């Protein structure tokens, strides 16, 4: 049996053949990071000389394609070998520049599908994405600066998802891998192991800042979880009058790690892309959760029992496993496989999983995160000096901003700050401790104001930001815009007669359309219209004055819902009387058609045709009648199996006269036979007379003399 190995393809993914001389095939994968494959091949082999080319492809036993990126050659005496490095075909995304037309400077409430669709379009549909879980909407800023791979990394960071590539199809999940009960246990499948725990990045109190150095100080403490509120309440002055007075959260493990010298291990996040306090709170909560535990890392050299026993579980990237080696302080230690090195074609080499409670990042990952910022900075400098045109652009914009400033700041005696237009002093904006007011008549009236009670304005123009809820009206006579979508007619979104969800799906109890619906499919229970023109209409009810078309296909057609009606379905046509009972049924019978007549559902007659002929029948009588004309029969009529009743002589033209004539003729013949037909004879020896008799008379007398001629007489 040949040794299994990889298939090789050219740059256009046309198959070249099989790598028969390759060895030391190693595959290394890391969550949201490396997907690489390396192997050795003799330089004198046909594999190296004819099959392996830069930007060519190899395919492993999982059906995954890898791009040949480099060939490292080495000599050991006469032995010439090459080390081939390949990475997964997913990394071809780095070869596609994200189009400037699709760049997003800032957008709010974006679904992950909207961003992945942009990447798919940028690659000409080559790469496709499958979203397996539900992700929250996310505000997006500065998306699409760079390659499509950078855009994918941005999506991974924003939506906190994990990638599982399947060649050109990229699967996005909240967490890849499963928990199949895989255990690495001493004396079973652990060959060697190393276990390291680190507390360098431990954080038990996380501070936070957002854009412009702002924090969530002053936010209502009701936004905290019960556990967060309880932990903060243990520190005096953190919550004052129901408001947060600090910009940090405390870990529930803080007491365990606290010491006399260090009560808290502090950390800080600065999120310049966040502008809302609640979003900053969520980010702080997530960052603290990731750093409040000691980092664990286990590297295990395992025995791949699945290579000799198919019932043994096979490790996969992202799987949750349990490590049991008490002597190594691994007492049922449970964590995920964050990195997996495999030798898929070698039975004597075994997998080397790295098990950790965090996704490990190497130097290349950190450098790639800095690449985008570095490019922006490099664009402003040349040979260590700021570029002239960049400096001039900055200076020019600063002068423009200063010259365009036509507002004078005044500090009135009554307090506050008054911003007054220099060219029109009647236009004023005043800031006080009560709020902000805007006037266009020298503060006689206020056109718009913002106070603690709300916002007052004649109209709001432009794009509104991220709101938790917008309510117009009260009770069930209300229109709402919130995280569910838009609803009207009921306070409860789920039963509102009109609602639109975040995906654009609309539910409406009644709707009046005066325009045109193009390239859409309508699925509804009730459509009422004088004219409907569409390629496809689906629904449980269609109401209209007229339906016109070349072909109408459906399960049931009927003239009324109940009572007297006609129905057409796959069984045929059925007519019902006013009581709802079947009266006529037209359908298929054997290989032909049949018509069944019924009286309130009971069969009363049938007409059908088949290969034997045309049949008319009934369990009762069969009546054939012409009211204004005669009933005509043409062709032969066979009464072999028939019994005819009630057919009178008077009903058949000339039949009576013909029979009467026949009777007269028969009577005449009978009389002749009665009187003339000889039926008997007698001979009188004395008179020598032979008499011949009919039934009515003596027909003849013949005298027969003895030895002489005879004389006869007749009557």
pLDDT digits (tens, 9 = 90+) for 318-329: 888 888 888 787
The pLDDT score that the predictor gives to residue 362 is 44
- Residues contacting 51, CB < 8 A, separation 6+: 8, 16, 17, 19
The pLDDT score that the predictor gives to residue 365 is 45
Q: Which of the four pLDDT bands, split at 50, 70 and 90, describes residue 367?
A: very low
Residue 265 pLDDT greater than 70, yes or no: yes
The pLDDT score that the predictor gives to residue 529 is 62
Cβ-contact 340, 354 below 8 angstroms: yes
pLDDT digits (tens, 9 = 90+) for 552-562: 776 677 888 88
pLDDT digits (tens, 9 = 90+) for 647-681: 776 777 777 778 788 888 887 777 776 666 777 77
C-alpha dist (Å) from residue 595 to 219, 592, 607, 610, 630: 80, 11, 5, 12, 25
| Tally of CB atoms within 10 A around 483 | 13
| Tally of CB atoms within 10 A around 641 | 5
3-state secondary structure (DSSP) of residue 280:
helix
Between these two residues, 612 and 488, which has the higher pLDDT value? Answer: 488
Instruction: Sort strands 7-9 and 35-42 into parallel, antiparallel or unpaired.
Output: unpaired
Cβ-contact 386, 331 below 8 angstroms: no
Instruction: Sort strands 128-131 and 169-173 into parallel, antiparallel or unpaired.
Output: parallel
Between these two residues, 27 and 425, which has the higher pLDDT value? Answer: 27
3-state secondary structure (DSSP) of residue 209:
strand
Least confident window among 345-349, 653-657, 675-679, 709-713 = 709-713
Which regions of 13-135 does DSSP assign to beta strands (E)? Answer: 15-18, 23-30, 35-42, 57-59, 65-76, 79-88, 104-110, 128-131
Range 253-282 average pLDDT: 87
The pLDDT score that the predictor gives to residue 57 is 94
Residue 339 pLDDT greater than 60, yes or no: yes
Q: For the chain, how are helix, strand and coil distributed in percent, rounded to 5?
A: 20, 35, 45
Closest-CA residue to 501 (of 485, 488, 489): 485
Percent of the chain with pLDDT over 90: 19
Crossing angle of the two packed helices 148-159 and 363-380, in degrees rounded to 10: 120
The verdict on domain 99-175 having CATH code 3.40.50.180 is no
How does DSSP classify residue 695? S
pLDDT digits (tens, 9 = 90+) for 3-15: 578 899 999 989 9
Percent of the chain with pLDDT over 70: 83
Domain boundaries, the chain: 7-92, 99-175, 177-199+294-361, 205-291, 365-404, 407-456, 556-617, 647-715
DSSP conformation letters of 352-393 = EEEEESS----HHHHHHHHHHHHHHHHHHEETTEE-HHHHHH
DSSP conformation letters of 318-361 = T-EEEEEEGGGTEEEEEEEEEEEEE-TT-SSS--EEEEESS---
Q: How far is 105 from 143, CA to CA, in rounded Å?
A: 6
Q: How far is 214 from 61, CA to CA, in rounded Å?
A: 53
| Tally of CB atoms within 10 A around 39 | 22
The pLDDT score that the predictor gives to residue 298 is 77
- Residues contacting 418, CB < 8 A, separation 6+: 409, 410, 411, 412, 428, 429, 430, 431
Range 417-421 average pLDDT: 83
Whole-model pTM: value is 0.49
Residue with structure tokens 């001039």?
392
Q: Which helix (H) or strand (E) holds 714?
A: strand 711-714
Residue 316 pLDDT greater than 90, yes or no: no
Cβ-contact 528, 518 below 8 angstroms: no
* Arithmetic mean of pLDDT over the chain: 80
């Amino acid at each position: 049996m040949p040794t299994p190995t990889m298939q090789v393809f050219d740059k256009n993914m046309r198959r070249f053949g099989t790598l028969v001389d390759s060895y030391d095939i190693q595959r290394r994968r890391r969550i949201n990071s490396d997907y690489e494959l390396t192997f050795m091949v003799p330089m004198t082999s046909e594999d190296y000389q004819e099959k392996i080319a830069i930007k060519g492809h190899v395919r492993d036993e999982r059906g995954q394609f890898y791009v040949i990126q480099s060939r490292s050659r080495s000599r050991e005496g006469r032995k010439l070998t090459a080390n081939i490095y390949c990475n997964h075909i997913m990394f071809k995304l780095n070869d596609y520049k994200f189009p400037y037309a699709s760049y997003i400077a800032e957008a709010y409430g974006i679904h992950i599908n909207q961003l992945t669709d942009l990447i798919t379009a940028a690659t000409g549909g080559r790469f496709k994405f499958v979203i397996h879980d539900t992700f929250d909407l996310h505000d997006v800023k500065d998306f699409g600066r760079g390659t499509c791979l950078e855009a994918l990394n941005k999506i991974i960071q924003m939506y906190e998802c994990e990638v599982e590539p399947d060649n050109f199809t990229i699967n996005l999940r909240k967490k890849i891998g499963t928990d199949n009960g895989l255990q690495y246990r001493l004396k079973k499948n652990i060959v060697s192991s190393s276990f390291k725990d680190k507390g360098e990045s431990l954080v038990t109190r996380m501070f936070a800042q957002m854009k412009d150095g702002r924090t969530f100080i002053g936010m209502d403490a009701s936004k905290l979880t019960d556990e967060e509120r309880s932990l903060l309440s243990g520190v005096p002055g953190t919550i004052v009058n129901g408001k947060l007075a600090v910009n940090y959260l405390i870990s529930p493990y803080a007491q365990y790690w606290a010491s006399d010298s260090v009560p808290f291990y502090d950390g800080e996040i600065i999120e310049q892309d966040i502008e809302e306090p609640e979003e900053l709170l969520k980010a702080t909560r997530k960052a603290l959760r990731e750093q409040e535990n000691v980092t664990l890392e286990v590297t295990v050299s395992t025995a791949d029992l699945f290579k000799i026993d198919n019932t043994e579980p096979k490790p996969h990237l992202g799987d949750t496993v349990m490590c049991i080696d008490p002597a190594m302080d691994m007492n049922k230690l449970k964590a995920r496989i964050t990195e997996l090195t495999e030798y898929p074609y070698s039975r004597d080499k075994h997998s080397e999983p790295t098990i950790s409670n965090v996704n490990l990042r190497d130097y290349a990952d950190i450098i790639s995160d800095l690449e985008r910022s570095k490019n922006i900075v490099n664009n402003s400098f040349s040979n260590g000096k700021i570029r002239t045109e960049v400096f001039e652009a900055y200076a020019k914009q600063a002068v423009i901003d200063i010259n365009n400033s036509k507002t004078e700041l005044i500090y009135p005696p009554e307090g506050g700050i008054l911003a007054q237009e220099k060219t029109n002093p009647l236009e004023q904006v005043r800031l006080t401790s009560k709020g902000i007011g805007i006037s266009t008549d020298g503060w006689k009236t206020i056109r718009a104001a913002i106070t603690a009670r709300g916002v007052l304005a004649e109209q709001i123009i432009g794009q509104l930001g991220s709101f938790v809820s917008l309510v117009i009206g009260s009770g069930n006579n209300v229109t709402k815009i919130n995280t569910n979508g838009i609803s009207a007619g009921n306070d409860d979104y789920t039963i509102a007669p009109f609602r639109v969800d975040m995906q654009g799906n609309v539910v409406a109890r009644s709707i009046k359309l005066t325009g045109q619906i193009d390239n859409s499919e309508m699925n509804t229970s009730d459509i009422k219209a004088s004219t409907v023109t569409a390629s496809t209409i689906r629904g449980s009810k269609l109401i209209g004055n007229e339906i016109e078309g070349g072909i109408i296909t459906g399960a049931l057609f009927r003239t009324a819902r109940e009572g007297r009606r006609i129905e057409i379905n796959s069984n045929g046509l059925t007519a019902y009387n006013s009581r709802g009972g079947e009266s006529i049924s037209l359908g298929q019978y054997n290989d032909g058609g049949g018509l069944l007549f019924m009286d309130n559902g009971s069969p009363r007659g049938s007409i059908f045709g088949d290969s034997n002929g045309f049949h008319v029948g009934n369990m009762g009588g069969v009546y054939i009648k012409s009211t204004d004309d005669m009933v005509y029969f043409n062709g032969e009529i066979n009464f072999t199996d028939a019994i005819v009743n009630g057919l009178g002589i008077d009903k058949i033209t000339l039949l009576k006269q013909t029979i009467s004539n026949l009777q007269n003729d028969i009577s005449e013949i009978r009389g002749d036979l009665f009187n003339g037909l000889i039926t008997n004879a007698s001979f009188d020896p004395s008179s020598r007379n032979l008499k011949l008799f009919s039934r009515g008379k003596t027909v003849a007398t013949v005298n027969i003399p003895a030895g002489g001629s005879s004389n006869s007489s007749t009557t």
